[in-house]
Structure 1
Amino acid sequence: MTADPLRIALIASSRYPIRQPFPGGLESHVWYLARTLSGDGHHVTLFAGPGSDRTLGCAHLQVRTLDVSHAARQDVSMPSMWFMQEHHAYLQLMLDLSGPLAESFDVVHNHSLHYLPVAMASAVPAPVLSTLHTPPTPWLESALAVRSGAGAHFAAVSRHTAAAWQHAVDDIEVVPNGVDLDSWPEGRGGPHLIWFGRLVPEKGAHVAVDAARRAGFPIVLAGPISDAEYFDRMIR
């Protein structure tokens, strides 16, 4: 490295660990990013679900969980427990980044799908870059609508994703997901095509099926059925 190393906080999912096998592309992206930035000499600290890979060469921020009392659970406003746990984890993290950890980082890179890192970005002294991995969600749109704009910056993993968010974010840098070619060496090939990912409309498995039919190849699909109606109507 020629430049001084940066102190980087990476925010990922509070529920899913950053380790192989990856639950999805977001976790894979953060894993490779943490490993590469650490390998380049930067000081990386990762906030992610318990059990994340300890061989990445980075520090880890603890996920703070919440023990909701019996009385609070009986209240009519009580949401699902996973919602409360996730809300509490990100609330604690953002308060830490704006309080006791305020001078600990040069940049905060947010990859989570949660609204609080966006809504509270202006409270953090360091610049907060949020990478948008998905189409718009109501919670993130709400956070974008109330943010002050100070300290908040945005990138998207594709031009398509950036275009989907343009109604809410007017300045989005496009930084495509990287691929570690050493981890995907060319194989011997075979008689089948393969597609893998979550079986939801935006992932386009039905397009892959159509392409395979046109090319005259059988195709194998691998992945969780996250949208049963789509699977039954377009895939099965």
Structure 2
Amino acid sequence: MKVAMLGPIAWRTPPRHYGPWELITSLLTEGLVARGIDVTLFAALDSVTTATLDGVSPRGYEEDADLDGRVWEALHVSYVLSRSHEFDLVHNHLDWLPLAFSAHCAAPMVTTIHGFSGRDILPAYRRARSQFVSISDSDRAAELDYLATVHHGIDLAGLPPGPGGDDLIVFGRIHPDKGTDLAIDIAERSGRRLVICGIVQDRAFFTERIEPRIDGERVLYRGSVGPAERAAVLGSGVALLHPIRFAEPFGLSVVEAMACGTPVIAYRKGSMPEVIDEGVTGRLVADVDEAVAAVAGVPGIDRARCAERARERFSADRMVEDYLAIYRKIVSSKGRPG
């Protein structure tokens, strides 16, 4: 089987720091190659992979101010589709743009929907010649038919269980959707220090609501934390706070923290009830008051059991096997939607 992995190009694959779509694309690609699948990864050309690397963008456009993301994504998609006749299947991780041109794809296409940026992009999905995979059952549009749900997997070797500690951790992009300000409120009322890690995605929100509360003592900001430090940070907390204001499609940092033995206190939105095992890997709450109460009780969650459950459910190996089953189904049936 020859697979064209149509990866995103916002960041290098795998990402140096932030880049969840690139991270999943990398883990899947490497897992397939390890199983003897012939994979060509179409990604930024500074990417690192054991697959055959191809593409047109020299770097991720978020890492080079001279690259216009709209232009380079269009060039990227065009190039992959021009070579699609060479493959048994094209796996799209690049959202709606390849779907708009999917009629020109010479091989069956499967698209992992990593999350909808808004309902206004649904026309590209409804008209596409592609099969769809959701990353959680909660993140499905009623208008679309799905072939399967495949929960993300993580690199367990790079996320060993940690010793825990006294700090609360918040990990992810700094944006109102992620509730970084709410995490500060929860930590303050819980009497615990908060360590914030992540890129600043909403500069005004950071400047007005977050930065004035960073004092270097009770609230620390460590910036974007890369793979080398990720496990140490996630494994050092008493809990990860995830007080989201939106329907989170999955939440990689959530399962990464749980794999490190650190339970998660998350708002009951989106995929969180699907991802968190109540009382085992974390607590689901509705507001700041419930989150503060959960922090007080979280030392009662067994860290070893938390890590064990997360590692059973969210390994990269499981994810790769799930996708292989999908590929075989598509290729054996020619995979072309009606």
Same fold (TM over 0.5): yes
Any residues of structure 2 matched to 1:153-168 within 5 Å, and which? Answer: 153-162=131-140, 165-167=141-143
Match for residue 225 of structure 1 among 185, 190, 200: 200
* Alignment size in residue pairs: 203
Q: 1:77 aligns to what?
A: none
In the alignment, is the contact (CA less than 8 A) between 2:56 and 2:76 conserved in 1?
A: yes
| Cα distance in 1, alignment partners of residues 97 and 197 from structure 2 | 33
| Cα distance in 1, alignment partners of residues 82 and 93 from structure 2 | 18
Q: Gaps spanning 5+ residues in structure 1: where?
A: 1-5, 66-79
Q: 1:121 aligns to what?
A: 102
Distance 1:94 1:125, change over 3 A: closer
Query: Which one-letter code corresponds to 1:39 in the other structure?
Result: A
Any residues of structure 2 matched to 1:141-220 within 5 Å, and which? Answer: 141-147=122-128, 150=129, 152-162=130-140, 165-167=141-143, 169-171=144-146, 173-206=148-181, 208-209=183-184, 211-213=186-188, 215-220=190-195
Query: Which one-letter code corresponds to 1:89 in the other structure?
Result: H
| Cα distance in 2, alignment partners of residues 214 and 125 from structure 1 | 57
Any residues of structure 2 matched to 1:105-116 within 5 Å, and which? Answer: 105-113=87-95, 115-116=96-97
| Cα distance in 1, alignment partners of residues 121 and 104 from structure 2 | 17
Query: Which one-letter code corresponds to 2:71 in the other structure?
Result: M
Deviations 1:182-214 (A, max 9, x none): 211112222212222111233343454455456
Deviations 1:201-234 (A, max 9, x none): 3334345445545654321111121123444565
Match for residue 7 of structure 1 among 2, 5, 12: 2
1:41 aligns with 2:22: no
Q: Residue 90 of structure 1: CA displacement?
A: 1.3
Q: 2:225 aligns to what?
A: none
In the alignment, is the contact (CA less than 8 A) between 2:45 and 2:54 conserved in 1?
A: no
Distance 1:106 1:158, change over 3 A: same
Q: 2:70 aligns to what?
A: 83
Deviations 1:143-195 (A, max 9, x none): 22443xx4x11112223322xx334x233632111122221111222221222
**Coordinate RMSD, CA, aligned:** 2.7
Q: Taking structure 2 as the reference length, what is the TM-score of the superposition?
A: 0.53
| Cα distance in 2, alignment partners of residues 26 and 161 from structure 1 | 15
Q: 1:59 aligns to what?
A: 52
| Cα distance in 1, alignment partners of residues 136 and 54 from structure 2 | 29
In the alignment, is the contact (CA less than 8 A) between 1:14 and 1:63 conserved in 2?
A: no
Deviations 1:75-126 (A, max 9, x none): xxxxx944223212212322331xxxx0x2222111113x332122233232
| Cα distance in 2, alignment partners of residues 19 and 107 from structure 1 | 22
In the alignment, is the contact (CA less than 8 A) between 2:81 and 2:106 conserved in 1?
A: no
